Amino acid sequence: ATATLAAPAIAQSSPEVRWRLTSSFPKSLDTIYGSAEEMANIVREMTDGKFNIQVFPAGEIVPGPQALDAVQSNTVEANHTCSYYFVGKDPTFAIGTAIPFGMNARQQNAWLYEGGGNEVLNEFYATYGVIGVPGGNTGVQMGGWWRKEVNSLADVQGVKMRIAGIAGQVMAKLGAVPQQIPGGDIYPSLEKGTIDAAEWVGPYDDEKLGFHQVAKFYYYPGFWESGPTLHFMFNAQKHAELPKAYQAALKAGCAYANDITMAKYDAKNRLAIRSLVGKGVQLRPFPRDVLDAAYVASQELYAGLVQTNENWKKVYEPWKQFRDESFQWFRVAEYTMDSYNYAMQASGK
Amino acid sequence: ATATLAAPAIAQSSPEVRWRLTSSFPKSLDTIYGSAEEMANIVREMTDGKFNIQVFPAGEIVPGPQALDAVQSNTVEANHTCSYYFVGKDPTFAIGTAIPFGMNARQQNAWLYEGGGNEVLNEFYATYGVIGVPGGNTGVQMGGWWRKEVNSLADVQGVKMRIAGIAGQVMAKLGAVPQQIPGGDIYPSLEKGTIDAAEWVGPYDDEKLGFHQVAKFYYYPGFWESGPTLHFMFNAQKHAELPKAYQAALKAGCAYANDITMAKYDAKNRLAIRSLVGKGVQLRPFPRDVLDAAYVASQELYAGLVQTNENWKKVYEPWKQFRDESFQWFRVAEYTMDSYNYAMQASGK
């Protein structure tokens, strides 16, 4: 405040701006909650403390799932969330994060930044009065913790699984019974056997919640989240009112968080998976017939939405084209390189 | 300048700072040259034009390979380059970019940002008076353009190939004859048959230089560059003299460029590979015995350097551990997901 009094001439270009950001995540998820703090911190540093974004964990201002409403109504200026939490309003929100059998993190990021993804998503987000900017990625998530082994599609029948959104719809088509349970209730529900399986994030976040103590089998891959992008969302009018320099600081700060969060997950999951295996966790790939049934169910769902939902059609169709073209290219150099390197390492060379 | 005169009170916290950055790349490589411009532009926007970094293409101030000397001697304050261009000074520089059979882009980025990589590299870079910050990645490069088909390791014998650095040493161990040729001379050399093969970058950059018109076979993967990181390097003293806010702007600006450059390569290569195949280019995977021989040659080289070069040992050993642990984790969820998605797409589903 002293600086402002001393230098009124700069009031217009560098005003003191205070924003509040509601995270959809608890502080205990340090990686993903930390993403918003990384962004806020670097924006504060870049502006000599003048653009000050205060980060609140889920529940302090509004519950996690209300992060969009809170920004739309200008209760807070910003959030950090998963776009797919809002599929109840419109399934199109899912494409901003991840849909089953979608792109991996790099491909989704390329679509967003350089394939028209941010633009087409923001045309959609604009109808809710918000602007969305990528803010991190977890990489492929795990397929969750299962109390019983899944040897074929038949073993999925009747399984009560904690899984939400479009992923839940796909699992329902496979015969599972999707349950919506907040993160904090998963452990006791699994322990009591109220549910038979639960998906959360990946090794690092999962280990902290201790699921390995109540469900032995850890499946992969989480085919419903092959490269889920987190988003920062800003109230569009509040964003427009920012000085251009602060808009740029926000843009760079989000990219910084985007980059760092992916790096954190990749670094931390690499250690957590070793730790979990050391604790006796049984890693299992999903059987092929489960993946195939889920793939077919997903495509049916998408085809139906193209027919019935104009927003979905506008976002999904260019996304799908980018996905298919990306897969063709990645199969050439990236996949061949990964395959060779992983095979050599697996053989102890 | 007017603003500065009108508001002398802010002179200390927001001084006018002009830096020059020498890129190691020509303007024609718009993706990679553009990375420095993206960084400079966003830093300029964030600071209301007060921190102004002017970007020069290779050759305007110093030639590309002298980008380190220029920053060390403070001829310019900054560069944008590949650390491995400086292996003539010390092979340890290669690890900052890529060494054969190294990590992919995401894994290398995780090592740099969250695995101690930036720290251990900067202890080494500090002996040259510079600070290095990641500034983009090309993804796995291609294995170059070959005039004759390579059906086995025998076909590599005597091949005059444009390839430099540690990669060149590995190819030499396989019986090839590495040639150091500037980018602009590759096309005529291949056309005349002065060389038999040449590696450059990947589909997008390669197509612009027209190599497909003079060499029919396009090999993959470029096993010597599985996730090459570009670097911004700053004169350490000049960096220390910056206001803290400008240091933060630089940090965020580099992360922005890091993120965007990877996205650009992924988006542009996906179209260029289709275009090249449409022009009749023959895509070929390297035969297994070529990869195996190169793998063994690389490991021998690294083991030798651990014995003889203290800098190499300090950087390589933690890098190698991170690599091995990353491969183990990525084999679980990421690779299984990619494998399934690519297989489904290849089968037309």
User: What per-residue confidence (pLDDT) applies to B183?
Assistant: 83
Structure tokens at B283: 């895509």
Instruction: Tell me which chain B residue has its CA closest to the CA of residue A276.
Output: B329
- Chain A residues in contact with B330 by the CB 8 A cut-off are 338, 342
The CA distance from A109 to B267, in Å, is 9
B251 to A113: CB separation less than 8 angstroms, yes or no: no
The verdict on ipTM greater than 0.90 is yes
Residue A108 has pLDDT above 60, yes or no: yes
**Which residue is closest to A288 within chain B, CA to CA?**
B340
- Chain A residues with CB under 8 Å of B113 CB are 259-260, 263-264, 267
For residue A349, what pLDDT is reported?
A: 84
DSSP 3-state of B115: coil
Size of interface A-B (CB pairs under 8 A): 267
Residue B349 DSSP SS3: coil
> Among candidates B167, B115, B128, which has minimal Cα distance to B315?
B115
Cβ of A64 under 8 Å from any chain B Cβ?
A: no
Name the residue among A48, A226, A338 with its Cβ closest to that of B104.
Answer: A338
Length of chain B: 349
CA–CA min distance B285, chain A (Å):
8
Is A331's Cβ below 8 Å from some Cβ in B?
yes
Task: Determine whether the interchain pair A334/B252 forms a contact, defined as Cβ–Cβ distance below 8 Å.
Answer: no
Which amino acid would we find at residue A87? V
Query: In the prediction, which pLDDT does B1 show?
Result: 35
Q: Do A338 and B105 touch (CB under 8 A)?
A: no
Residue A194: phi and psi, rounded to 5, are -65, -35
pLDDT of residue A12: 53
Q: Cβ of A229 under 8 Å from any chain B Cβ? A: no
CA atoms of A108 and A115, how far apart (whole Å): 9
- With H, G, I as helix, E, B as strand and everything else as coil, classify residue A130: strand
Q: How far apart are CA A163 and CA A143, in angstroms?
A: 10
Specify the pLDDT at position B184. 84
3-state SS class at B165 = helix
Angle between helix A244-278 and helix A30-46 axes, rounded to 10 deg: 150
Q: Is the bond leading into B221 cis (omega within 30 degrees of zero)? A: yes
Shortest alpha-carbon distance between residue A168 and chain B (Å): 18
pTM for the whole structure: 0.95
Partners of B133 in the β-ladder: B232
Nearest CA in chain B to A250: B46
CA distance B119 to chain A (A): 15
Residue B191 C-alpha, separation from nearest chain A C-alpha, in angstroms? 25
Distance from CA of B127 to the nearest CA of A (A): 27
Task: For residue B6, give how far its alpha carbon lies from the nearest alpha carbon of chain A (Å).
Answer: 7
Q: Specify the pLDDT at position B182.
A: 83
Determine whether the interchain pair B245/A47 forms a contact, defined as Cβ–Cβ distance below 8 Å. yes
Residue A244: closest C-alpha in chain B:
B45
**Separation of alpha carbons A245 and B3, rounded Å:** 15
Q: Six-digit token pair at A59?
A: 């529940």
Can you tell me the distance from the alpha carbon of A339 to that of A336, in angstroms, rounded to the nearest whole number? 5
Residue A157 has pLDDT above 60, yes or no: yes
* pLDDT for position B80: 98
Classify strands A145-146 and A217-220 as parallel, antiparallel or unpaired. antiparallel
Length of chain A in terms of residues written:
349
pLDDT tens across the length of chain B (349 residues): 334 444 444 445 789 999 999 999 999 999 999 999 999 999 999 999 999 999 999 999 999 999 999 999 999 999 999 999 999 999 999 999 999 999 999 999 999 999 999 999 999 999 999 999 999 999 999 999 999 999 999 999 999 999 989 999 999 999 999 999 888 899 999 999 999 999 999 999 999 999 999 999 999 999 999 999 999 999 999 999 999 999 999 999 999 999 999 999 999 999 999 999 999 999 999 999 999 999 999 999 999 999 999 999 999 999 999 999 999 999 999 999 999 999 999 998 8
Chain A residues touching residue B339 (CB < 8 angstroms): 335
Q: At which residue do the structure tokens 């050993």 appear?
A: B317
Hey, how many other C-beta atoms are within 10 angstroms of the C-beta on A288? 11
Region A290-312 average pLDDT: 98
Contact of A346 with chain B, judged by CB distance below 8 Å, is answered with yes
Report d(CA A233, CA A230) in Å as an integer.
Answer: 10
Identify the three-state secondary structure at position A79: strand
- What phi-psi label fits residue B281: left (phi over 0), alpha (psi between -120 and 50 degrees) or beta? beta
List CB contacts (< 8 A) between B332 and chain A.
Answer: 220-221, 273, 283
Looking at chain B, which residue has its C-alpha nearest residue A329? B270
Token pair belonging to A162 = 């904690």
Contact criterion met (CB < 8 Å) for A266 and B223: no
Instruction: Give A7's pLDDT tier (boundaries 50, 70, 90).
Output: very low
Please check the confidence at residue A1 and state whether its pLDDT lies above 50. Answer: no
Q: Which tokens belong to B231?
A: 């670097």
A77 burial (CB, 10 Å; 0-12 / 13-18 / 19+) is buried
Best of B113, B334, B335, B345 to mutate (most A CBs within 10 Å, chain A)? B334
The backbone region for B159, taken as left when phi is positive above 0, alpha when psi lies in -120 to 50, beta otherwise, is beta
The answer to whether B126 contacts chain A (CB < 8 Å) is no
The dihedral through the CA atoms of B32, B34, B38, B43 has a sign that is positive
Cα–Cα dist B77/B18, whole Å: 9
Distance CA B267, CA A326 (A): 8
Closest CA to B173 of B293, B22, B346, B257: B293
Model confidence over A234-259: pLDDT tens digits? 999 999 999 999 999 999 999 999 99
Residue A78: closest CA among A106, A48, A43, A108:
A43
φ/ψ of A262, rounded to 5, equals -60, -45
Of B244, B291, B346, the CB nearest to A340: B291
Contact A114 B263 (CB under 8 A): yes
pLDDT at residue B117, as a whole number = 98
Lowest mean pLDDT among A128-132, A163-167, A322-326, B273-277: A163-167
Beta strands at A177-179 and A51-56: parallel, antiparallel or unpaired: unpaired
CB nearest A342 (choices: B248, B325, B331): B331
Q: For an interface test with A, which of B332, B335, B339 has the most A Cβ atoms less than 10 Å from its Cβ?
A: B332
Round to whole Å and give the CA distance between A192 and A202: 22
pLDDT tens digit sequence for A163-200: 989 999 999 999 999 999 888 899 999 999 999 999 99
